[in-house]
Amino acid sequence: MKHFLSLMDFSKEEILDILALAKKIKEDAKAGKHKDYMPKKILGMIFEKSSTRTRVSFEAGIYELGGVGLFLSSNDIQLGRGEPMKDTSRVISRMVDMVMIRTFEQEKLEEFARYSKVPVINGLTDKLHPIQLMADYLTIMEEGLDKDLVVAYIGDGNNMAHSWLNMASKLGFELRIATPKNYQVDKEVLKLALEEAKKSGAKITIGFDPVEAVAGATVVTTDTWISMGQEAEKNMRIKDFRGFIVNEELMKLASKKAIFLHCLPAYRDYEVSEDVLEGAQSRVFEEAENRLHAQKGIMVWLDQRRDK
C-alpha cells in the first residue's frame, strides 16, 4: 500500500504515471466521459487547517469518481479534544477507503499514515504541499513547457519552495529559488534534493536575487508572504520581503513564453502585482482548476495500488 506524503517517496516514473492518469481523467471528463473509478469509496478529509481549494477539489473530485467525501474538521472529531493521532488513525481508517489530511506538522501526518489501514494523502503540512505541485506540473505540461523547463520561485522558503525542490530533484528540471536572507529553505530538505538531483540531472540554484532567478525562466511562481498562522508577523514580513514582488518589470526578464503560477490565495501588490496576476501570462486559475484533476489522478492511482 502506498501513501502520498511527499514527492520524495516516488520515482520520476511514478510521478509522471500519476500525471498521465490525471490528464486522461481530465480529458475524459471534459468530453463528457465520466467514469466511476472509485464507486462507493469513502474519502475521509481531516482539516486541522481550513482551505478553499483543498476542500472543494477533494470533495468534488471523489464525487466525480463515484465516491463520497466526509469533511472532518478538528472540531468535529476527537483530535480537537486531544485524542492521539495514532488512535484517530486506527479508528477512521477502519471506516473509510482513503484519508486526506491538511495539518500543521509533517510528523503528525506521518504518524497517522504509520497506523492507517488505508492510503493517506498529504493535503498540506507546514513542511510540504505535494498535491499543489502535481497541479502545477499538470498545468506546465498542458502549456507545453515541461521540456527544457526553468522554474523561478520567488519569496518565502516555505512548504511550496520545499515541494518545488522535491519535484525538480525528481523530474530533473532547472529550479532557481530566491528568498530574503532570513527566509531560506530548510537545510535538510535542500540537502536531500541536492542528493537526488545528482541522479536526475536537476540543476538547483539557491540565492537572494529575484532578478537573477527570473532571467530567462519559463515559469515564474511565488506564494503568500504571510501563511496561515503567521499573521502576527505581517508587518515584519512585508518589510523583509520588499523587492520580492513579482511585477511586470520582473516578468519582462523571463522568457517570452513564460507563465506565472501562484497556489492561491494571492495577496495583490504584496507577493504579486495585480497586473501580473490578471495578465496574459497568468495561469493561476487554470492551475487552481487542475487541483481537481491532479487529485483525482492521485486518488485513483493510490486506490489501484491499495492491495499491492
Q: Which residues are annotated as a binding site for carbamoyl phosphate?
A: 51-54, 78, 102, 129-132, 263-264, 291
Tell me which residues are annotated as active site: 102, 129, 132, 223, 263, 291
Annotated binding site: 51-54, 78, 102, 129-132, 159, 223, 227-228, 263-264, 291
Residue ranges at the known binding site for L-ornithine: 159, 223, 227-228
What would the grid cell of residue 257 be? 513564453
Strand order in the sheet with 203-207: 203-207, 174-178, 150-154, 219-222, 259-262
